[in-house]
Amino acid sequence: MKYLDVIGLQKLQAFVRSVDVGDYCVEGILEAYSCKLAGSDKKLSRSLDQEVAQDLSVSPEGVVLSASPVGPLTEAGSRRTLIYLLLTMQHIYPDYDFSLLRAHNFSKEKGPERVKANVDTLLLETTKAWANENGGDLSFSEQLWSAVDKVINMYECDIYSYNPDESDPFGEDGYIWSFNYFFYNKKMKRILYFSCRGKTKAYEDSDEQLDDLEDHEGRFFSMDDI
């Protein structure tokens, strides 16, 4: 997946990276990628393709794997969609290894309207912060969606979302809400990723944790916590 540095997104990108809205901070990522497989991507893509095809061949007859959110996994196109989503996540979150994710970890959104409504609601405070910084006639929401539309043609896209759990970036300490959307435009062979997490200010990252490795035990879940 090749990262695309889109001029129209730069200002929004920089803004959402970290927004202080009072009680909490919003940390956002707004990035566009071209569905081009780089060297290391190709290896992952091939092994994933094989694994998924294997899973399909050993699954019992009648199991409806065609009900996957990315489309019937028997079709190469669906598998490719899954692979693009996976690779995008690998690129954006280098500290994580998402190679174990499968179609069931994602959901397909019904359309841009729902997505817009959800995002606008969650970013209400952010909109105010934008207005304070930039003033102007256009609200954050308007600017955001017009920029996104220019880059990816929202209404032509399939929109997907990753279902988070505790063991991923959305489940890290201090984050109280999050959303993530993949806008996948098949024709343009592009994916636009927009995600935000709300981090409560009450959670303080203590630097002492790093001095002694023993303290790292606090970062991981231990078997007793299950």
Partner 1 sequence: MRSMKAIAGRILEVLKSYPTSKTMPSRVLERKLGEDKAALAKALNHLLQEHKIQCYHLKDEDGHKTLHYKLGELKLKHLSSEELLVYQIIEQSNDRGIWTRDIKLRSNLQQPAIAKILKTLESRALIKSVKWVTNKNRKVYMLMEVEPSREITGGAWYTDNEMDEELVHAAEKICLKFVEKTFKATGRRATAGDVGAHVRGTQIIKTEMKDDEIRAVLKVLVYDGKLDEYRAAGAEDEDEDGLEYAPAICKPPKGLPEHLVEMLEVGWLVRSGEKRPESTKRGEDGTVTPSRLKRLFGEEEERAEEVGGRGGGEERDLYFFRGT
Query: For 117, phi and psi rounded to 5 degrees?
Result: -60, -45
Least distance to partner 1 from the beta carbon of 95, Å?
4
H or E, element range at 126? helix 124-134
Contacts 24+ apart (CB under 8 A), 89-96: 89/162, 90/44, 91/1, 91/3, 91/33, 92/29, 92/31, 92/193, 93/168, 93/169, 95/169, 96/168, 96/169
The residue (of 22 and 220) whose beta carbon lies closer to partner 1 is 220
User: Residue 220 gets which letter from DSSP?
Assistant: S
Please pick, from the candidates 19, 154, 168, 191, the single residue that binds partner 1 as defined by CB under 8 A: 168
Binding mask 80-99 vs partner 1 (x if CB under 8 A, - otherwise)? --------------xxxxx-
Q: How many other C-beta atoms can be found within 10 angstroms of the C-beta atom of residue 181?
A: 22
Sorted by sequence, the CB contacts under 8 Å of residue 162 that are 6+ apart come out as 85, 89, 101, 105, 106, 168, 180, 182
- State how far Cα 11 lies from the chain centre: 19
Least distance to partner 1 from the beta carbon of 150, Å?
29
Binding mask 205-224 vs partner 1 (x if CB under 8 A, - otherwise)? -----x-xx--xx-xxxxx-
The residue (of 106 and 130) whose beta carbon lies closer to partner 1 is 106
The residue (of 130 and 193) whose beta carbon lies closer to partner 1 is 193
The footprint of partner 1 on residues 176-195 (CB under 8 A) is none
Query: For 189, phi and psi rounded to 5 degrees?
Result: 55, 50
The residue (of 87 and 154) whose beta carbon lies closer to partner 1 is 87
User: For residue 180, what are the β-bridge partners?
Assistant: 195
Please pick, from the candidates 100, 187, 202, 208, the single residue that binds partner 1 as defined by CB under 8 A: 100
Binding of partner 1 by 131 (CB under 8 A): no
The residue (of 61 and 166) whose beta carbon lies closer to partner 1 is 166
Least distance to partner 1 from the beta carbon of 223, Å?
6
Least distance to partner 1 from the beta carbon of 166, Å?
8
Angstrom distance (rounded) from CA 27 to CA 44: 28
Residue type for 143, please? Q
Least distance to partner 1 from the beta carbon of 112, Å?
28
Q: What is the dihedral of CA 216, 217, 220, 223, to 10 degrees?
A: 170
Residues that bind partner 1 (CB under 8 A): 94-98, 100, 166-168, 210, 212-213, 216-217, 219-223, 225-226
